[in-house]
Structure 1
Amino acid sequence: MPGITDLPPSGSGMRIGLFGGSFNPIHAGHVLVMEETMRRLELDALWVLVTPGNPLKNHSELAPLADRVRAARALIDNPRIRVTGFEAQKGFRYTWQTVRFLRHSLADRRFVWIMGADSLADFHRWERWQDIANTLPIAVYARPGSSNRALASRAALALAHGQIDQEDAPVLASLSPPAWVYLHGRQSSLSSSAIRAAKRHKT
């Protein structure tokens, strides 16, 4: 069993999706996005990056990193999807640090950053978001109620020149950034915040 902060194994030329988040807790909606983006982008692997804590969110209800990594590994049964908390070991707080490190330390891999439409809507609030968009291609997956806000967001408008049609999604991993795709598809109404709220209500 790999350690909590171990980087997953990979090989030269692999097309790897990066799906970051608090996963507090992980749920079937997250797994749906992972499976759909892997299929649509024709990825070889997907790495779930369980963050020490989102700088834009309240951490008062944040479960310990090790618990969140183990829960994600227990829920995911696809051997091509690997879960790691390596950002904590590296001391990374921001996504730009993570993508810069992976882009340079594993330069012969083809990474794609994956996010939900709700994240695209707020992407302009991320630290050095332009640097992220200029480092890796990005795949955005539709989320219930977020499409209009996401596609009209500051980041989407600023990056409009780099958007490709979803029918061309398989080539995304090979494109030079800034390049991104908006994927429509099956959606789940589950949310981590709603799950936590329901748990509070029961106690």
Structure 2
Amino acid sequence: MVNLAEGWYTNGLLWTIVGVAVSLRVGVLACWATLKAANPKLRLVYRLNLATKLLGHHDSSGLHVMHNGEALANPHVAEVLVANVGRRDIVASMFHGNTPLTLDLGEPILTLLATKSHPTGTLAPPMVITDTKLGVQPSHIVRGQKVTYTLLLDGPVSDVVAIPSLVNVDLRKTDSSISNFMISILLAAGLLIAITVGCIVCIQIFPPDAIDWMQDHVNNIWK
């Protein structure tokens, strides 16, 4: 007979159920890891990191942003991120027909201000500017590499649209820095917490005979 007055942390049924839940989750994660290793994912993500107006609407300081000798009416700086978040390197031969990956900002790009590649020692893919489009040239983009292009425009930018050219590479626009792996870990932790809390509640509210029956039933399953 289960004593409802005893601490929930000493109840055998609770820890049996939690153990089953943990075992099932570990098994699922192990299968998932095996499938990932057997089927390496090629994935490239992109996003508009920032779009900043350089001068206020009513700037009276006399400051101007010049480009090719002309003052810009509505100067903006935009930063575009391209990152290889897959499990393999992306190589130049994956660009179909040697065609660049095109990212359209919807506003004429005047010039490239800066390029940065992380981790240190990796080379940023060369790029070409055509009107509103930034073309990332076919290149070797290593696993985990992140490249940012800082651009000068004469108008606001609110989004970036990709024109795919990569073969067998999953190309996605991302607005989050949280990886799918971290999301899976958080969901797994939340599930285990929910199961534990549910077991504690059941032990406190169910009649002793019902709890005895459940415990015997669980024990029979694992014999």
TM-score category (smaller protein): under 0.3
When normalised by structure 1's length, the TM-score is 0.26
Name which structure has the greater RCO, CA cutoff 8 Å, separation 6+: 2
